[in-house]
Amino acid sequence: MRGEPRTFDPNFKGPVVNRSCTDVLCFIIFILFIIGYIILGLIAWVNGDPRRVAYPTDSQGHFCGQKGTPNENKSILFYFNLFSCTSPSVMVNLQCPTTQICVSKCPEKFLTYLETQLLYKKDKNSWTYYSQFCKTPIPKSDRTLSQILMDDNCPAAIFPSKPFLQRCFPDFSTKNGTLTVGNKTMFEDGKGKTRNAGELRAAANHINKILDAKSLGMKLFEDYATTWYWILMGLIIAMLLSWIFLILLRFTAGFLFWVFMSGVIGVIGYGIWHCYKEYNNLRGQENSHLTIYDIGIQTDISMYLQLRQTWLAFMIILCILEALVILMLIFLRNRIRISIALLKEGSKAIRYVPTTLIYPVLTFIFLSICICYWAVIAVYLATSGVPIYKIIAPAGQCEHENKTCDPEIFNTTEISKACPGAQCIFAFYGGKSVYHQNIPTLQTFNLFVFLWLINFVFALGQCTLAGAFASYYWALEKPEDIPPYPLFTAFGRAIRYHTGSLAFGSLILALIQMFRIVLEYLDKRLKESQNNISKFLQCCLKCCFWCLEKAVKFLNRNAYVMIAIYGKNFCRSAKDAFNLLIRNVLKVAVMDKVTDFVLILGKILVTGCIGVLAFLLFTERLPILIEGPSLNYYWVPLLTVVIGSYLIAHGFFSVYAMCIDTLFICF
């Protein structure tokens, strides 16, 4: 199982130069998938229309505000009967079961259809104003209310509204602590009922749950526009701190590790002392002699803290933990020294091959291209086809609900009589062609190739960095014997000879990740219909595939190092890496944990320093040194700086971690 160790070759000078292409079959499959992905993008681009996402769509499937259409000057969506939006079908179908039309402006006053009829002879302007909110122009208000509602041509009433996310929403305000609409708390709905502002607010809230981000988004944009240069400056400082930390590791790696371990021992020791102190203080107090078994299961955790037995158990656990840590440091001290030596050597390697610190930028560019291409294809696929209309009933109990319909003849069909109040409303874009019927399949293909490409980008980065650091390790005289441009040479070797092997390893990861996504999807769709056994089995599957993904990532990482050094195919390299790790499993575990300790400290140091400075600046607590910007939400740029600093530190330290792994395998 452990395999035979590689025999010592005194003539080995580093990464093999004379190598051949590996895993050619997987390379061909990978190229075919990429070609198919490009073709999919072209087909989606021809059939899709992202304007369908940018513009609101009326009940007929027409865009509001689109240039070159009759609705060019009507950029706002108006709902005929907002009260119907309280229907449960709103959240199920993501549509309000009422007629929606495009208008140039929102209503500014209360007016019902019956009122316009009464005022028509005296004031025709009221009808002119009202009719602009009808589907088609009506010269005069000579129809009855029942005819208007049956034809669904005009709303029964209009209310003072304001545009929000290009949609007309009631103009709510508060007067003396009471919610009002246009300074009224009660008003007629045009159908003989008196309504209050609270009912209208409840109806509007159902739509707001889908469209609630506009004002927040504007404020966030303002904050970013005000602080972008501060954010950029913070990220540059984070980059410099990360670089300085890596260079100084050559001198401070051992010190940082032993300081960290001393802190761990000290914290556990303090915990033991505190447990003993609490245990001793409870001596003689009432009921403190009871056991956990005596009081049973309690929701109030503080009851357990009043028992001496609880603190005794804590003290014993901490003593065992303290003993294990000390024994581990004593018996593994030699391996810890080797790990610290590797950390110091890794710092020297980065100093001699500084271009490796630039590679995370290249990885970021590749990832950005993949993510943007995937997102664009997903949008174009989602907006492909012709408008599809479906029946939506206010009560959500129509037997014909969610069936397709034709809005031009819907009111003359038997369905409108069988389901009073039902609407034939635009639902989505689709069609009956083979392309349109297979859009879900194409979206799945889009996601799978995206995962494959993302994993390939990471694999390419790991193999490239491994090749560069292996060149450093095998150079006898440093830096004289280090090949010129080791990073670019390693990148060229990986692309020219090992694209198939990298695609093979990333394909395995993509399949596992795709299966995990399918499990999550099934869990969301079948959540309410699952029994306890199926939930348990699904939870076990999720856990198993999560562990499998982590294990495959670890094995792939080391396999790419072997590929970079010896130029073998993926399976042979993975086998050699696995055997090497098994033969040195204890060294691997110690080195991995020591590296984790040091890199976690580095990430905390970089992110913490930048985060504290950003907090003081954005909360205007440095008026003496510098005046901070005035913001709507100071946490927006603060979180951006903190997350960005962490990602930058992670990018730098991932290069360092790859360096350590490569040096260990070479060692």
- Max Cα-Cα span within the chain: 108
pTM of the full predicted structure?
A: 0.66
Span 338-357, average pLDDT: 75
Look at residue 91 in the predicted model and tell me its pLDDT. 37
Give yes or no for residue 228 having a pLDDT over 60: yes
Which residue shows structure tokens 């389901």? 419
What is the predicted pLDDT for the residue at 628? Answer: 59
Which of these, 371, 566, 381, lies nearest to 449 by C-alpha position?
371
User: Where is 106: in which H helix or E strand?
Assistant: none
Q: In Å, how far are 380, 458, 564 from 571, measured between CA atoms?
A: 38, 18, 14
Instruction: Give the pLDDT band of residue 452 (cuts 50, 70, 90).
Output: very high
Cα dihedral across residues 185, 188, 189, 193: positive or negative: positive
Confidence of residue 214 (pLDDT cuts 50, 70, 90): very low
CA distance 143 to 135: 15
Closest CA to 652 of 265, 276, 243: 243
Would you say residue 35 has pLDDT above 90? yes
Q: Both ends of the chain: CA-CA distance in Å? A: 21
Place of tokens 């093979």: 504
Burial 345-373 (b: 16+ CB within 10 A, else e): bbbbbbeebeebbebbeebeebeeebeeb
Q: How confident is the model at residue 302 (pLDDT cuts 50, 70, 90)?
A: low
Q: How far is CA 578 from the centre of its chain?
A: 33
Phi/psi for 166 (5° steps) reads: 60, 30
Q: Does pLDDT of 2 surpass 70?
A: no
The structure tokens listed for 10 are 């005194």
The runs of H, that is alpha helices, within 584-634 are 585-618
pLDDT of residue 33: 92
Question: For 553-560, which contacts have Cβ atoms below 8 Å and span 24 or more sequence positions?
Answer: 553/509, 556/459, 556/505, 556/506, 556/508, 556/509, 557/462, 557/658, 557/661, 558/661, 558/665, 559/505, 560/459, 560/462, 560/463, 560/466, 560/502, 560/505
CB atoms within 10 A of CB 600: 12
Say whether 100 sits in a helix, a strand or coil: strand
pLDDT band at 210 (very low <50, low <70, confident <90, very high): very low
The counts of H helices and E strands in the chain are 20, 12
Long-range contacts of range 186-192, CB-CB < 8 Å, 24 or more positions apart?
187/110, 187/157, 187/159, 188/110, 188/112, 188/157, 189/83, 189/112, 189/156, 189/157, 190/112, 190/113, 190/114, 190/145, 190/155, 190/156, 190/157, 191/145, 191/149, 191/156, 191/157
Instruction: Quote the tokens at residue 642.
Output: 């903190």
CA dihedral 141, 145, 149, 155 (to 10 degrees): 60
Q: How far apart are CA 103 and CA 135, in angstroms?
A: 9
Q: Residue 321: exposed, middle, or buried by beta-carbon count in 10 A (0-12, 13-18, 19+)? A: middle
Between the alpha carbon of residue 641 and those of residues 22, 367, 611, 613, 623, the distances in Å are: 42, 20, 7, 10, 20
Q: Please check the confidence at residue 333 and state whether its pLDDT lies above 60.
A: yes
Q: What is the pLDDT of residue 655?
A: 77
For 383-438, where are the alpha helices, taking DSSP H only? 414-418, 434-437
Distance separating alpha carbons of residues 485 and 319, to the nearest angstrom:
53
- Write the Ramachandran bin of 284: left for phi over 0, alpha for psi from -120 to 50, otherwise beta: left
Contacts of 425 (CB under 8 A, 6+ apart): 59, 95, 97, 99, 100, 389, 390, 391, 392, 407
Cβ(153)–Cβ(130) below 8 Å: no
- Answer yes or no: is pLDDT of 570 > 70: yes
Segment 509-528, tens digit of pLDDT: 999 988 888 888 777 766 65
Q: Rounded to whole angstroms, how far apart are CA atoms 343 and 656? A: 9
- The dihedrals phi and psi of 100, each to the nearest 5 degrees, come to -130, 130
pLDDT at 211: 45
191 C-beta neighbours (distance < 10 Å), count: 15
Of 42 and 61, the structure prediction assigns the larger pLDDT to: 42
HSE value, Cβ hemisphere, 13 Å, CA-based, for 436: 14
Q: What is the mean pLDDT of the chain?
A: 75
The residue count for the chain: 667
Rounded distance, CA 90 to CA 88, Å? 5
Can you tell me the distance from the alpha carbon of 159 to that of 36, in angstroms, rounded to the nearest whole number? 52
Higher pLDDT, 608 or 83: 608
pLDDT at 15: 65
Ranges 66-75, 197-206, 429-438, 557-566: which has the least confidence: 197-206
Q: What is the pLDDT of residue 393?
A: 67
